[in-house]
Amino acid sequence: MSTHYFLALPIEDEKFEHVQRDILPFYSYRRTYRPEEFHLTLQFLGSLDDDEVEAVKELTREVTTSTAPFALTFQQIDHFGRPDRPRVLTIVPEPSVDLTALTGTLRRKLSEEIPALDRKPFVPHVTLAKKWDTGTRIPYIAPTFTIEEPIETVVLYRINPNHTPAYEAVEVFPLQRSEEDTWRSRLKFLT
């Protein structure tokens, strides 16, 4: 089995876990994400060889060092699939010019370097659960919440499907900041 990678924004606010805990009783999923697995995928990379991994690191570093930190606001539950049995349960951010610019630049540069790159449209979301189990969704009134998530890093993750957590940080790319802050950020994810 080949190793797959993706680039994502780590999501760390504890409020995501609270929203997940409040909403999951109305659904039936086989796979529930752990708080340390919460992320917003910027680009799924699939299987990469060592040279491609190095190219991804170089391009991501180039983009992130010229991108200032920003914040995303989350206020809405959403899903992919049928409303009565959605295959993926998510929290989505409000539209963000900063997120659109970061993702657009990163995806354009990556597609120039890796021709076989997945070109599905970018749909920003944080997955709470996936793989519908049995039954149908129980009607409910969606919880109200506002989560302000500071975005300060992009992470290259490796997928380890038989491990918990399933996502391993391979490299951390701090958004534009001082050298001291850069090292603090890397140590947080790689230790």
How does DSSP classify residue 99? H
Q: Which two tokens stand for residue 5?
A: 């990678």
How far is the C-alpha of 173 from the C-alpha of 118, rounded, in Å?
Answer: 21
How far is the C-alpha of 155 from the C-alpha of 111, rounded, in Å?
Answer: 18
- Answer positive or negative: Cα dihedral of 82, 85, 87, 92: positive
Active site residue 4: no
How far is the C-alpha of 6 from the C-alpha of 47, rounded, in Å?
Answer: 9
Alpha-helical regions (H) of the chain: 15-23, 50-64, 97-113, 179-190
- Answer positive or negative: Cα dihedral of 29, 34, 43, 1: negative
Catalytic residue among 4, 18, 39, 163: 39
- Yes or no: say if 156 and 106 are a contact pair by the CB < 8 Å rule: no
Active site residue 125: yes
How far is the C-alpha of 181 from the C-alpha of 37, rounded, in Å?
Answer: 23
Catalytic residue among 4, 18, 79, 125: 125
Catalytic residues: 39, 125
